[in-house]
A and B are shown apart, each in its own frame.
Chain A
Amino acid sequence: MDTRQTSLIARYSARYSVRGGVGLVFLLLSLTFGLMVAHLTLQPVEMLSKQVQERMGDQDPEKVTAEVLDLLIEQAAPAVSWVLSKRETGDADTDEAEAEQADAWASYLLNDRPAMLSAIFLILLFGWPLIVAFGAFDLYAGDISSRQLRYQLLRADRGSIFFGRLFGTLITFLIVLVLLGLVVSVYMGAKLPLYGWGELLSWAFYGVTALAIVTLPYVALCAWISSSIGSSFASLTIVSLIIGGVPLLAMFARMTYEPASYISYLLPWGFQTRLFHNEPMQVVLACAGCGVQTALFGWLGYRKFTRRDL
């Protein structure tokens, strides 16, 4: 692999990805998804605040919104804790310890951090992997046996092309994520002026970083699938089925056999929420999981790309 060529290909790929149709669709899709999630998350607070304000008459709107939000957080905390907790293990002591840990985690997200932004990022985290599929399915597929790839193959080794395009896509994703974080934070700050901008932007920065880390294994998975399949449509279909199918399979399989829930660990689905954990060790473990999967999928993709007919 040649570092100069890899860097050139990465920059070229990132520079022109948005100018190609798929890149633009990906950008718009990401921003639309982010704003939609932000809007749907904030809407109940807004509506409830308006109703309370109408009943209470001349109350300070900001105070009413803060009280409504506190009430909502109080009501939502057990549900959030349940979502974040591991399911029952059958062992009472373990279950209790798990529940306590989940309560602390939920409290951290809802009380110690801007709660609504936490909610937005957790929802984004669930939808983002599928968005990644739309942005990275054609990393190589569609270009194999055609287009510019054949002009590049004489000039750069396959490893440089593989990693150049991979890094280029990651740069594009990072730019999109930063834009997404900014748009969501500004939207929330304007709609719900309860948090300071500093607090909001620092938590948004953390959220964007977490999303960026979870993006790595999914993009590497796309690179593997995309380098194995010539047709971009087939690549999109398979990538979407795998990314969307793994958590669904885990969910349905565990209904008949509890340990089958570990299927979700085949992808970051099993641990990706832990990137927002209150305990640093859990965050480190989640990052390590993403790193291992990125390396594995990346290696499989590299192996395929460097050996197959192009």
Chain B
Amino acid sequence: MIPPAPPLATESGGKIALRIENLRKSFGETVALDGVSFDVPLGSIFGLLGPNGAGKTTLFSLAAGFINADEGNIGVLDTDVAHISDLQGRLTILPQDAAFQKNVPIIEQLLFFRLLDGRDRKTAEREVEEALENVGIAEYKHRGIHALSHGMLKRMGIAQAFLGEPELILLDEPTSGLDPQNARQIRDLIRTMQQERGVTTVISSHNLGEIQELCDHVAILDKGRLKTAGSVEAVTRGGRMLEVELRRPLTDAERARLLTVAGIGNIADRGPQRYRFEFALDEAVSVDAVTIAVLREVLDLGIAPKSVTEGDSLEETFLRMTGEQEES
């Protein structure tokens, strides 16, 4: 066992739960990850985005110690990934391609995991019951996995990931295949875990709306390379623009009047009634002041805004960074 490393710190000084440094992994000729580096802050909900084949699942497998990196380092909760089993339930994962054992009752399988973590049987039983309750499949606990639908199996995987007192959870597409109600339940559960227990969660998903709603930090991967990583605000250029959807289009005069608002550099059309206000900030004008001034001016024009978004949507950022927008 390696001696515990000093707590890792982000550039901004906060502790980090997962540190990825210059990670490289190839499968034969295919380069799955090519020099990827980023940090996942402790206590954050971190979204990992990327098109199919971007390397998200490979990154999860590397971070969980399933596969070995060709180059680079991974630090998980102050522990080198080579000694990941020392974490004993502090790190859990919902892998995309793992399944449970057939013909073994659900409760027995989950109990086995907690016993491996070093829990006594009584505590383990209580934790398993709680985890199954949380994902709504407690009534199936004595059945085998054959009794579960695809969505229920997914929920069982999530129950496994939420089992006990994890500090870092890696969820590879946790809501794919779930109905909207169950997907919502899982999102709520992730949020609760963060707020009540300070659990760090890393989620990969193709549902960008879900990531934007849930995550405070994101990383975007494309073809094995890191495109960007950071807080959602920084990645979506929040603080540098405001996107407003109105109930009717602006006239030229109205547009000219809005351009006079201090801190507004340009107004770009984003749709028939949708406008992007690009900020030209100086030290005298704050983001909040410009936002308030723009909205006040819009209301003074007698137009009610339908929606207001600071920065790009995550979807736009994602498409811009992965080049899909140009292709389409």
Residues of A with Cβ closer than 8 Å to B?
Answer: 4-5, 8-9, 12, 16, 19-21, 145-158, 160, 307, 309-310
Contacts and interface: CB of A to CB of B under 8 A. Distances in A.
Interface SS of chain A: helix
B95 A16 contact: no
Given A20-B103, A151-B160, A154-B91, A310 B97 contact: no
B328 to A, nearest CB: 34
A146 B91 contact: no
Interchain residue pairs A-B with the least CB separation, the first 10: A309-B67, A150-B98, A155-B116, A157-B85, A19-B103, A150-B95, A16-B104, A147-B99, A148-B101, A156-B116
Contacts of B109: 148
Nearest to B62: A309
Nearest to B111: A12
B239 interface: no
B115 A8 contact: yes
A150 B103 contact: no
A148 B112 CA distance: 11
A8 B67 contact: no
A154 B93 contact: yes
B66 A153 contact: yes
Interface of B: 61, 64-68, 84-85, 87-89, 91-93, 95, 97-104, 108-109, 112-113, 115-118, 160
A150 B64 contact: yes
B66 A309 contact: yes
Nearest to B114: A155
A16, A149, A158 interface centre (most CB from chain B within 10 Å): A16
Contacts of B115: 8
Contacts of A150: 64, 66, 93, 95, 97-98
Interface centre among A151, A152, A160 (most CB of B within 10 A): A151
Contacts of A307: 68
A306 B240 CA distance: 50
B89 A146 contact: no
Given A309-B66, A309-B67, A310-B66, A155 B117 contact: yes
Contacts of A153: 64-66, 84-85
Nearest to A307: B68
A154 B100 contact: no
23 contacts: A5-B116, A9-B116, A16-B101, A16-B108, A19-B104, A20-B102, A146-B97, A146-B98, A148-B98, A148-B99, A148-B100, A150-B97, A150-B98, A151-B93, A151-B113, A154-B64, A154-B92, A154-B93, A155-B89, A155-B116, A156-B85, A156-B116, A310-B66
A162 to B, nearest CB: 12
Contacts of A309: 61, 66-68
